[in-house]
Amino acid sequence: MRILVTDGMDKGAIEKVRAMGHELVEQFYEPDELGKALRDFDVAIIRSKTKLRAKQIDEAKGSRFKCVIRAGVGLDNIDVQYAKDNGIEVKNTPKSPSESVAELAMAHMFSCARYISIAGHSMREGKWEKKAYGKGIELTGKTLGIVGFGRIGQKLGKMAKAIGMNVVAFELGIPYVEMDELLAKSDFISVHAPAVDGGALINAERIAKMKDGVVIINTSRGTNVDEAALLDALNSGKVRAAGLDVYADEPATNVALYSHPMVSCTPHIGSATVEAQGRIGEELVEIISKM
């Protein structure tokens, strides 16, 4: 097969795919060029940067192109049903990034609790603001509400329980609660759900139902949290802090949000660990070997 890799891939996996006899091309295409380019490939392997929408599918259908593989979990950058309706298979690697995303969510929880992001930034400006950042909180004994209890949510739940947190989840699990109960009980809320239609999971109405001083973590999809509502809540003090790895627009454009002193932010690096990329590569090789 002729395989296009648009957003990078583990080097070991690339070697294994080529050893199978497949031709593999590493090349990013802008949206206006992608659809036509796909006509020359059997398979495309993409990450979050590449978007496969109806326009690109229309341009590629009827050619040799037959499958897109998302190297990661979320499929919201692909018009999945439209692709399937036009004879294009859609696959992903759901198992591989779980540990890395869960660990990043936990890291943001610690950062928000102990001012790690802003305190470190202030030191790089030559400041020593020990008193200003001397009112941190402990995670032990606090309640973590997990919205979306799939593989990543379950990993985070295990980590949180290991350090003495109480864990409640909306969806499945340990124990299951309704959303309003989760909002009312939780000191920390971490979102691990796919993007949903019809608005953000965390909006102004739901923030109002949360405890005062809650910490919100989002490593799922940027549109799952209403950024304007979150910024208002940060400014009012309703939300103590937020840890964000994902944004409504990427690269992030909401400067007021990501530069807020009580926001711990990273540029969508949830699965960007050596180990996770190696596991994703292995899963990709397995998928291709069965085609």
Q: Which residues are catalytic?
A: 221, 250, 268
- ω into 175 cis (within 30 of 0): yes
Q: SS3 of 169, please?
A: strand
> Would you give the distance in Å from CA 256 to the centre of its chain?
21
**Contact (CB, 8 A) for 280 and 72:** yes
- Count the alpha carbons within 13 Å of 43 in the hemisphere toward its beta carbon: 22
Start-to-end C-alpha separation, the chain: 9
State the virtual CA torsion across 19, 23, 26, 28 in degrees, nearest 10. Answer: -150
Q: Considering only CA atoms, which of 202, 206, 198, 204 is closest in space to residue 190?
A: 202
The DSSP 8-state label assigned to residue 218 in this structure reads E
